[in-house]
Homo-oligomer: A and B are copies of this chain.
Amino acid sequence: MPKVVDPDARRREVVDALFRVVVRDGLQRTSLRAVAGEAGLNIGSLRHYFASQQELMDFAMQSMLDGLTDRLLRHVEHIGELSRHPPAERLRLAAGLLAELLPLDERRRAEVTVFLDFNAAARTNPAFKDLSDQAAAGARRLVRRVLTRLDESGTLRPGRDLDIETERLTALLDGLGLGAVRNPDVLSPQMCTAVLAAHLGDLAGEG
């Protein structure tokens, strides 16, 4: 017998509504009333599930990061040991994994969009700083891990400075996300993947 209301499901619905509002109107205009309206709830009800605005924001941001982390872990697991793949495939696999961070479809586009707004707010809103820093560190770790695996499997041109290359690839991904969200017509998904492939190809020293 299903409960009449499932609190966890409700919270997820509210977070989904919040994401839609942030994507559509921006974080600045994402008020409790707007989220409640989008979720089809009364503001009083919403406040029963989230005691304060800050609690809602934290939960939403954390939910997004958790979802992304799960997806990345599943992707990493699906790839398995990199050296068991033919060398020609390795760059493609790495690109596919890193592309989880790029706005290539509606889902990832929404993620990146929300993420950019949260990060912008985190610069001056201490309440978001921890989660934002944690996310940035996670992205950096993932990129470094990918580069390390590629290097260990002999796929990269030797002599690379991994510190620099990590920052370079991380910045490239950030920039592609920013550009693709801002100018989807110029920086299309195809262009994003082409740029990423070109970069990894360069690192491998093809040519």
Contacts and interface: CB of A to CB of B under 8 A. Distances in A.
A125 interface: yes
A194 B168 CA distance: 9
A168 B172 contact: yes
B179 A191 contact: no
Contacts of A133: 183
Contact of A165 (B171, B179, B198): B198
B195 A167 contact: yes
A199 B116 CA distance: 25
Interface residues of A, number: 49
Copies in the complex: 2
A26 B174 contact: no
A57 to B, nearest CB: 13
Contacts of A113: 123
A204 to B, nearest CB: 11
Given A25-B124, A26-B123, A120-B117, A179 B172 contact: no
A120 B116 contact: yes
27 contacts: A24-B124, A28-B28, A116-B120, A117-B120, A119-B182, A120-B120, A123-B181, A123-B182, A132-B182, A136-B183, A159-B207, A164-B191, A167-B176, A167-B179, A168-B198, A168-B199, A171-B176, A171-B179, A171-B195, A172-B172, A172-B175, A174-B174, A174-B179, A175-B176, A175-B178, A178-B178, A202-B202
